[in-house]
Structure 1
Amino acid sequence: MIGAAIVLVVVVTLLIGARGVAAIRSTSDFLVASRRISPTLNAAAVSGEYLSAASFLGVAGLMVKDGVGALWYGVGFTAGYIAMLALVAAPMRRTGALTVPDFAEARLGSPGLRKLSGAVVLVIATLYLVPQFKAAGLVLTVVSGTPYWVGVVVAGAAVSITLALGGMRAATYVQAFQFGLKLLLFIVPAIWLVLQVGADTRAEALHPVEFTRFERVTPVQFRHDVRLTITEPTAASTAPGRPVEVLPPGRYDVEDGSVWTFQAGAAVPELAGAPPPGGAGWARPLLDPNGAGHPLLATLSVLVATVLGTMGLPHIIVRFHTSPDGRAARRTAAITVLLLSVFYLFPGVYGALGAVLLPELYLTGGTDTVVVALPSRVDTGWAGSLFTAMLSAGAFAAFLATSLGLLLALSGAVSHDLLPGATVRRLRLTTLATALCVVALALPSVYLDVGVLVTSAFTVAASTFCPLLVLGIWWPRLTARGAVVGMVVGLLASAGVIGTGFALAVPPGLAAILLGQPALVSVPLAFLTMVLVSLRGRPPAWANAAMLRLHLDETERSADAR
């Protein structure tokens, strides 16, 4: 049933995407669908590509792992569109650009800035796209037992073929359809779970108690190397087929792939840096990843990254170029806020129930799977299988919809911005080639955290394209040199710092926050750098005319021309 549901989603994706084939005659058709997408259809498509693996699976998984504070991610993701509506949507459409690098060169007249912007698109899109393919492989493994690589290859093939055939128009039709599908397949199982679990479980989810003992015999398959601390004699089997033994207190290093089976009533081991679900730290409405000890600072940094990063995501920005005019772009953003607000009411349902019914996932590192694992825990019969299939299909739709937009941005950056003379044929070939490269990166990324990678993409976008767009649209004194230096500083202060944090074993504390989520520092630093460097130079001669073009309504411009 699960395999059939996922195959159906893939087949429908290809069939709907085929509608865009006949309309592809130019690069404008391929990249921005000839700028003829209506606000309602565009908003549904934007919502479809924005609700990625991080939204469909990641927010609920982070809630089980890190606590109630993970719901701030949903707030930041939605609030980002309010900032975009106010600052970016309509002016960006009025530029007539096809991509963010197009805007950069048109606004500041610098081919070098265009190349740099194209390189930043590659960084952001890769950070965001790899976890989509990774999550596709992971979900198929969990729900159907297929090897991890199968889901990665299937997702990569479906997305690349759809885009190569129909470009942005195909992506729009598919993403709008998949948004409605995801909304249905996310909300209906959530309501069923709430009704099915019973009053006691609902009360426990609203008033969580710390997870201290296993209520039943519980096998735990670890997805990466961990160090457990056992505080009292604990009955468990440390390998399949091995007899149950009483483990004495102490520290135990557990290798990736190990399966421990804890007996009913056994004490839950402690996991360094992870608060047990239901505890005081878990129930606090602030983020404190890995027990860093600065929850307010960590929460503010995530909000800066998600709210401002939304404005800089290249696959979201390009969506506003598909609108007929600036007014339609603004309406698209407003409708998108409403659609996302409906969706983000429900990840908390899965996270709260998962903390009660599947708290052992926090030991395994598999909290990303809590959404698809809940139905079978609640009901082992046909109903559980049905809703598992629905959620698996919805999750796969989330991977495909987001991957379509990201792969389009990635191939557009390579073929249109970094290489001269883009043609439809080159765009199609580049789409297939970049998909192959991303699949190759996703295959060894099975142990990387989806939420961490996606948040890193938001951080880089907030530290590079957000300052470029906001200052480029609202400040006439911005210079090409200021934009280049500011973007380089923002890129190093975000991607460079995050990469350093991955490479180093940083102890919990302030350093862990600054290295793991540096947006609170990198974004102001990028803005300040752009301003200070620009003040020492001279803006382009056409800066004032460019500002008028960005802010004067199309109807007013037409009247002035007459």
Structure 2
Amino acid sequence: MVGANLSPLFLGTVVVYFLIILGIGYYGYTKTKDEEDFLVAGREIGPLVGGATLSASQMSAGTLVGTFGVHYLLGFGFIWIWPGLWAGWIVSLLLVAPQMRRFGRVTVPDFIAERYRDDGADGNYSRAIGAILIVLAYTVYLSAQLTGGGIVFQSMFGLAPEIGIIAMALTAVFYTAIGGMRASMLTDFVQAIIMAVAVVVALPLAFTFVGGLGTVNAIFQSFNPSFVGQALSTQEIVGFMAAFGFSIAAAPYEITRIYSMRDEKTVRQAIGITLIFQAIIGTSVALLAVYMRVMFPALSNPDLASVIMSLNVLGPILGALLISAIFSAILSTVDSVMIVSGAGLAHDIYVKLFNPDATERQKLWANRISIGILGLIPLVLALNRGLVGDLVQFIVVLQASMMGAMFFMPLVLGLHWKRVTTAGGVAGMVFGFSTVIIWHVGTEIYSFIPESLAANDPVIPGVLVSFLVMVVVSYATGKPSRKSLAPFFDDVTVADGGTDERDT
């Protein structure tokens, strides 16, 4: 099953896919003239491409490798992650996405710097803290994506996974650094279509082989009755739902894409489209994984399930399409995260803090070099997976917990509650992030978290601590300046003459 003999038709289909993606990357390079083009695609993206890119950037190796593998391992119960994710999109639709598009900057730290600007440096200290936390959390996330790429290469070619991890890292760094956001979003559109078509077409074909869903369900239940019921505890279900829900509502790589859309109406339409994409793909992945458990009940690594289906079940064309979908899932997220992480280092730290007079050429190359640097760092984690865990999906959940805990409350409260202060917002980010790290270490490495609490996902204490710290610190410090509120609240203006009274 691993290192299968691949037909020329199979390999040719995969090669054509990569050539198309690299061609789009070059097209993005030719259209990128300045930093705004590179980071937000000139704000020209419409609802269809926008919805597809929101889907593709979220549905990473965690979906077609990790989620597939967890369904293979645990059954249907893991499907509850999707309602949590969709709830996060609804929260974003109501409380975050339109407001951030109206704000209309480039990165999430741009928001942090503007809303939490009362730090004695016009928001630059707040910006730097936000950017550093993004880089740290997304380093973990990129390690999961590269791990997924290594699994695919190992299964296709029989190579050591480390070779695939390195190959995926170099490929992603190259085409992301040259093409920027326009290339990223256009490739995401192609990749979302490939993912949806691959899983939908594979579904009836796979189940036809074994006599339909009823037969699969009966065989699956014979392994373990919980496979068709609920193999996860209530705490685990709530934790997974919360991790993905809080994370997607505040994910910097999704908000950067929201900045790239034409207007607030486009943002709302795009979120509706992404919900359709994700419903189709999420349901199909669960069903296909159950099928694979019936057909191949003893895989040593559950993360191999989707790849083995491509190589051994679906035939050369459809199998190559599903392999391309897996590569799509990985690359569409890797390019999104690399752009955001690179912008954190180049736009938010280098330009805003150290070289505000940089030319557009300097800004462009700063972003490209940053992508190169930050794209290679996750190799250390990917090649030493014991540092954060082994199964791809659980690495993804850890990252989601970090992102939700450190940004959900600072974004939502910052956009809708005038009393939040700079000290409160920054403390919320830092304490939310720190709580997730401590909780992970205390449950997965040293076991100092009480057993009765350990089943809770780190995002739950993380978001709770972030909220409480923000409220307490905000009331313990002076009211925020009008200048920090005016861009977000229509009834607040900076006083005539440029004064900045704190009488809100």
Aligned equivalents of 2:327 and 2:20: distance in 1? 12
Equivalent position amino acid for 1:191 in 2? P
Does residue 497 (structure 1) correspond to residue 442 (structure 2)? The answer is: no
Q: 1:30 — aligned with what?
A: 38
Q: Structure 1 pair 495/343, CA: closer, same or farther in 2 (3 Å)?
A: same
TM-fit CA distance, 1:103: 0.4
Q: Deviations over 1:190-221 (max 9, x none)?
A: 2210122224xx3342234566xxxxxxxxxx
Matched residue, 1:542: 483
Q: Per-residue displacement from partner, 1:420-445 (whole Å, max 9, x unpaired)?
A: 33611111111122222223432233
Matched with 2:268 is 330
Residues 9-61 of structure 1: per-residue CA shift (max 9 Å, x gap): 22221101111112222211111111111122111122121111111122221
Whether 1:118 aligns to 2:131 is: yes
| Deviation at residue 351 of structure 1 after TM alignment | 2.1
SS of corresponding position for 1:546: coil
Structure 2 match to 1:319: 257
Q: Greater shift after overlay, 472-481 or 522-531? A: 522-531
In the alignment, is residue 303 of structure 1 matched against residue 311 of structure 2?
Answer: no
For residues 203 and 501 of structure 1, the distance between their equivalents in structure 2, rounded to whole angstroms, comes to: 39
1:486 alignment partner in structure 2? 428
Residue in 1 that maps onto 2:319 = 388
The DSSP-based 3-state class of the residue aligned with 1:345 is helix
Report the equivalent of 1:526.
Answer: 466
Determine which of 304, 309, 319 is the counterpart of 1:369: 304
**Alpha-carbon offset, residue 188 of structure 1:** 1.2
Q: Does 1:428 align with 2:368?
A: yes
What residue is the counterpart of 2:87 in the other structure? 79
* Structural mapping, 1:442-521, within 5 Å: 442-445=382-385, 448-504=390-446, 509-514=451-456, 517-521=457-461
2:486 maps to a residue whose letter is A
Residue 91 (structure 1) aligns with: 99
TM-score, normalised by the number of residues in structure 1: 0.79
What SS does structure 1 have at the residue aligned with 2:162?
Answer: helix
| Count of residues paired in the alignment | 468
Counterpart of 1:410 (choices 331, 336, 341) is 341
* Residue matched to 2:283: 345
Contact 2:59 2:329 in 1 (8 A): yes
Kept in 2: contact 1:55–1:74 (CA 8 A): no
Q: Which secondary structure does the structure 2 equivalent of 1:419 belong to?
A: helix
Partner deviation per Cα, 1:377-419 (whole Å, 9 max, x = no partner): 5x5xxx5444433322211111111111011111111111122
**C-alpha contact (below 8 Å) 1:140/1:146 kept by paired residues:** yes
The letter for the 2-side match of 1:194 is F
In the alignment, the residues of structure 2 paired with residue 367 and residue 204 of structure 1 have an alpha-carbon distance, to the nearest angstrom, of 22
Displacement of 1:370 in angstroms is 1.1
* Residue 83 of structure 1, CA deviation: 1.6
Q: What are the within-5 Å matches in structure 2 for residues 57-456 of structure 1? A: 57-109=65-117, 110-199=123-212, 202-208=213-219, 278-285=223-230, 287=232, 295-361=233-299, 364=300, 366-374=301-309, 379=313, 384-420=315-351, 421=355, 423-445=363-385, 448-456=390-398
Could you tell me how far 1:506 is from its partner in structure 2?
7.3
* Preserved CA contact (<8 Å) 1:71 1:348: yes
Match of 1:21 in 2: 29
Structure 2 gaps of 5+ residues are: 1-6, 118-122, 494-504
> Which residue type is aligned with residue 443 of structure 1?
L
2:342–2:370 contact (8 Å) kept in structure 1: yes
Contact 1:76 1:303 in 2 (8 A): yes
C-alpha spacing 1:551/1:449, structure 2 compared with 1 (3 Å): farther
Query: Do the aligned partners of 2:56 and 2:192 also contact (CA within 8 Å) in 1?
Result: yes
Q: Percent identity?
A: 25
AA partner of residue 433 (structure 2): L
Tell me which structure has the larger Cα radius of gyration: 1
Distance in 1, matches of 2:139 and 2:324, equals 24
Classify 1:31/1:507 alpha carbon distance in 2 versus 1 (closer, same or farther; 3 Å): closer
The one-letter amino acid paired with 2:432 is: G
SS state of the match for residue 283, structure 2?
A: coil
Q: 1:523, CA displacement in angstroms?
A: 1.1
* Aligned equivalents of 1:44, 1:503: Cα separation in 2: 38
Post-superposition shift, 1:546?
2.7
Structure with more of its chain in helix, by fraction: 2
Q: Which amino acid aligns with 1:351?
A: A
1:358 touches 1:374 (CA, 8 Å); kept in 2? no
| Alignment check: 8 A CA contact 1:167 1:408 kept | yes
